[in-house]
């Protein structure tokens, strides 16, 4: 990597990134592949009508008017998604054209191990070809092993809550690593464990919709164990591997002028979202990750939204400065950091360019202050299936027409491509 001095440019409107910086985008199997059969696909079919009803209360009028698809049950069924399973070469051609030199995707556990202990060679061959396609196009693969979906046999045994979750997961991780180790260096074990704990076990909005603080509490340890076991398994088959987990990190701000009450809430929220998984996996990460979407304002005892703040189509506040504070805090771990997700839902593509540039400005500032950030993955390469919200939120650099499956590169993607290709951020505002 370059020394800090080398990235500080004389021209203030041009920010140079360290040599070898990785630029790309991320996806996950269930959200793009199509044709998956796992606990999510089953839950979607059972809950589509309920989700339509919930949409009425959940979203603001401007969102309901702009995205009437949210009232169609089909919106909530992943189905063929983007058919990326069959069109990955076409999609990687686009990523290459956009100057990406890295790509993050996930392996669908339910395809690779459709029955307990029985691995499907054809599916491993599929992912071998996916990786080959990336390498042929000059993109480094970052492989996620678990992006929230469980095979149905595991779900019957209690899913993530099964006492043997870490055993099952590390056995699968080992199998995949043994088969793909020659072409993969970077492995991400588990995607955002704390998002699953919060949304599936505290807020009741994702499968298995179990509101249980006890289950939530236990899951931290269970996910940490699964990560550590998989970390060891991958290293046992491939010494050159670099292994981490994908961590969602929120930024926080207190509302009142005298802040101590808000700060109490923030202390707990920050511990359970940002810190606990890091603590529990200490010593078993070759790199750290940042997945940044949320700026949480606290007015004791809970989170609030301020109406005058810029938001994306999901009404999530956009707060680029937050990523800088998160990165500065991670510096103490003295590990390389990859921003493995950062993005926004913006169907009109009117905010995406500025969003990316503003975040990169803050990331660059952190780098110039000694934080070892080595890559940025925009979420997502393609519009895709956004879990319990379905298809209407549009995160893609590439727009998908879900009727024809036609791909259309958005203007902001070309702006991001300029940065990827030059390794430099130019801005004029």
Q: Find the DSSP H helices in 121-240.
A: 121-136, 152-156, 165-180, 193-201, 213-237
Range in contact with ligand FCB (rule: CB under 6 A) among 10-18, 51-59, 134-142, 379-387: 379-387
> What is the Cα–Cα distance from 133 to 131, expressed in whole angstroms?
5
Cβ-based neighbours of 255, under 8 Å, separated by 6 or more: 262, 297, 298, 299, 304
What is 21-84 written as a DSSP string? -EEEEE--HHHHS----SHHHHHHHHHHHHHHHHHHHHS-HHHHHH-GGGGSGGGG--TTTT-H
Alpha-carbon distances of 309 from 76, 226, 312, 321, 353, rounded to whole Å? 29, 39, 10, 13, 18
CB nearer to ligand FCB: pick between 367 and 400: 400
Interacting residue with ligand FCB among 387, 391, 392, 416 (CB under 6 A): 387
φ and ψ of 11, to 5 deg? -75, 115
Q: Which of 17, 21, 28, 249 binds ligand FCB (CB under 6 A)?
A: 28
Tokens of 151: 């095979």
Give min distance, CB of 64 to ligand FCB, in A. 20
CB of 293 to ligand FCB, least distance (A): 6
| Residue closer to ligand FCB, measured from CB, 191 or 254 | 191
Examine residue 289 and tell whether it contacts ligand FCB (CB under 6 A): no
Q: Which is nearer to ligand FCB, 276 or 364 (CB)?
A: 276
Give min distance, CB of 389 to ligand FCB, in A.
9
How far apart, in whole angstroms, are the C-alpha atoms of residue 26 and residue 343? Answer: 10
Q: Tokens at residue 376, please?
A: 């940025």
The binder of ligand FCB chosen from 229, 341, 346, 353 (CB under 6 A): 341
Q: Binding residue for ligand FCB (CB under 6 A) from 102, 133, 243, 248? A: 248
Min dist. Cβ of residue 30 to ligand FCB (A): 8
What residues numbered 343-372 form the site for ligand FCB, per CB under 6 A?
none
What is the total count of residues that contact ligand FCB (CB under 6 A)? 13
* Least separation in angstroms between CB 167 and ligand FCB: 24
Measured from the CB atom, the residue of 16 and 227 that comes closer to ligand FCB is 227
Cα R_g (the chain), whole angstroms: 21
For residue 164, the surrounding DSSP H or E stretch is none
Q: Which is nearer to ligand FCB, 293 or 324 (CB)?
A: 293
Roughly what angle, to the nearest 10 degrees, separates helices 213-237 and 165-180? 30
> Is 234 in a helix, a strand, or coil?
helix
- For ligand FCB, the binding residues in 164-203 under the rule CB under 6 A are 191-192, 195
User: Contact positions toward ligand FCB, by CB under 6 A?
Assistant: 28, 31, 191-192, 195, 248, 291, 293, 341, 379, 386-387, 395
């Amino acid at each position: 990597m370059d020394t800090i001095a080398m990235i500080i440019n004389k021209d203030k409107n041009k920010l140079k990134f360290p040599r070898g910086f990785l630029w790309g985008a991320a996806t996950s199997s269930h959200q793009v592949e199509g044709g998956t059969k796992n606990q999510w696909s089953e839950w979607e079919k059972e809950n589509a009508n309920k989700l339509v009803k919930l949409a009425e209360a959940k979203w603001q009028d401007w969102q309901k008017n702009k995205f009437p698809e949210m009232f169609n049950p089909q919106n909530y069924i992943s189905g063929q998604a983007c058919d990326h399973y069959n069109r990955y070469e076409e999609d990687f051609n686009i990523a290459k054209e956009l100057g990406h030199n890295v790509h993050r995707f996930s392996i669908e556990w339910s395809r690779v191990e459709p029955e307990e202990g029985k691995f499907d060679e054809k599916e491993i061959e599929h992912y071998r070809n996916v990786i080959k396609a990336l390498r042929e196009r000059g993109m480094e693969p970052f492989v996620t092993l678990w992006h929230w979906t469980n095979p149905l046999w595991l779900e019957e045994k209690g899913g993530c809550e099964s006492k043997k979750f870490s055993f099952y997961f590390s056995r699968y991780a080992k199998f995949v690593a043994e088969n793909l180790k020659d072409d993969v260096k970077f492995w991400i074990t588990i995607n955002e464990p704390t998002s699953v704990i919060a949304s599936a076990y505290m807020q009741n909005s994702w499968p298995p919709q179990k509101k249980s603080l006890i289950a939530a509490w236990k899951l931290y340890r269970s996910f940490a164990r699964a990560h550590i076991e998989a970390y060891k398994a991958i290293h046992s088959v491939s010494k050159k591997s670099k292994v981490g987990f994908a961590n969602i990190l929120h930024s926080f701000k207190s509302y009142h002028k005298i802040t101590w009450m808000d700060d109490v809430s923030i202390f707990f929220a920050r511990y359970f979202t940002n810190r606990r998984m890091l603590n529990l996996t200490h010593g078993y990460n070759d790199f750290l990750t940042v997945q940044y979407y949320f700026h949480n304002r606290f007015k004791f005892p809970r989170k609030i939204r301020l109406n005058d703040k810029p938001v994306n189509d999901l009404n999530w506040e956009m707060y680029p400065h937050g990523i800088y504070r998160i990165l500065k805090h991670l510096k103490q771990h003295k590990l390389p950091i990859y921003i493995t997700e950062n993005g926004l839902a913006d169907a009109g593509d009117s905010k995406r360019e500025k969003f990316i540039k503003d975040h990169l400005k803050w990331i660059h500032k952190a780098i110039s202050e000694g934080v070892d950030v080595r890559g940025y993955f925009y979420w997502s390469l393609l519009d895709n299936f956004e879990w319990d919200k379905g298809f209407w939120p549009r995160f893609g650099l590439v727009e998908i027409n879900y009727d024809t499956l036609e791909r259309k590169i958005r203007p902001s993607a070309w702006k991001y491509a300029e940065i990827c290709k030059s390794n430099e951020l130019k801005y004029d505002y």
